[in-house]
């Protein structure tokens, strides 16, 4: 039975790119499943303790940026390669960077609307 399981996993994770792909899918699933519950629990505080939702959205994005950067640095095994590829992607390919800006702005709006919805709905009713 053990050999059958390891053989099956060996076929799924045949390359390092497959491992990164599945780990990314799992992390996104955990984030999206836990976000409504965590946001809902943080919104029920005393009036003085409630925070500005945009700050929380910003902090979530900083955490995601940090995790993604760590994964890419680990994949390249070099901070220098990571910085060079980041510089190339952002500054040398401005057309692609501008194409990403519009969905990013919409995503920020969506995250802020999550907080408004979760403030007014039960967490079990809300499904993103």
Distance separating alpha carbons of residues 80 and 91, to the nearest angstrom: 16
Q: What distance separates the 2 farthest-apart alpha carbons in the chain?
A: 58
How does pLDDT run across 69-108, given as a tens digit for each residue? Answer: 888 888 888 899 989 988 888 888 888 888 888 888 888 8
38 in a domain, yes or no? yes
**Containing structural domain, residue 69:** 2-120
Q: Which pTM does this prediction carry?
A: 0.57
**Does residue 126 sit within a domain?**
no
3-state helix, strand and coil shares in percent for the chain, rounded to the nearest 5: 80, 0, 20
In this predicted structure, what is the pLDDT of residue 95?
85
How buried is residue 125: exposed, middle or buried, by Cβ count under 10 Å (0-12/13-18/19+)?
A: exposed
Q: Does residue 105 sit within a domain? A: yes
Provide the pLDDT for residue 74.
86
Cβ-based neighbour number of residue 10 at 10 Å: 9
The answer to whether position 127 is within a domain reads no
Q: Number of folded domains in the chain?
A: 1
């Amino acid at each position: 039975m053990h050999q059958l399981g390891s053989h099956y996993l060996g076929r799924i994770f045949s390359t390092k790119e497959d491992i990164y792909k599945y780990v990314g899918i799992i992390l996104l699933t955990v984030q999206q499943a836990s976000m409504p519950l965590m946001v809902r629990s943080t919104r029920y505080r005393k009036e003085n303790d409630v925070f500005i939702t945009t700050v929380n959205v910003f902090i979530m994005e900083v955490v995601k940026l940090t995790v993604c950067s760590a994964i890419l640095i680990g994949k390249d095994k070099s901070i220098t390669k990571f910085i060079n590829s980041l510089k190339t992607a952002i500054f040398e390919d401005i057309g692609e960077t501008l194409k990403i800006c519009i969905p990013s702005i919409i995503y920020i709006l969506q995250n802020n609307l999550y907080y408004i919805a979760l403030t007014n709905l039960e967490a079990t009713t809300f499904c993103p």
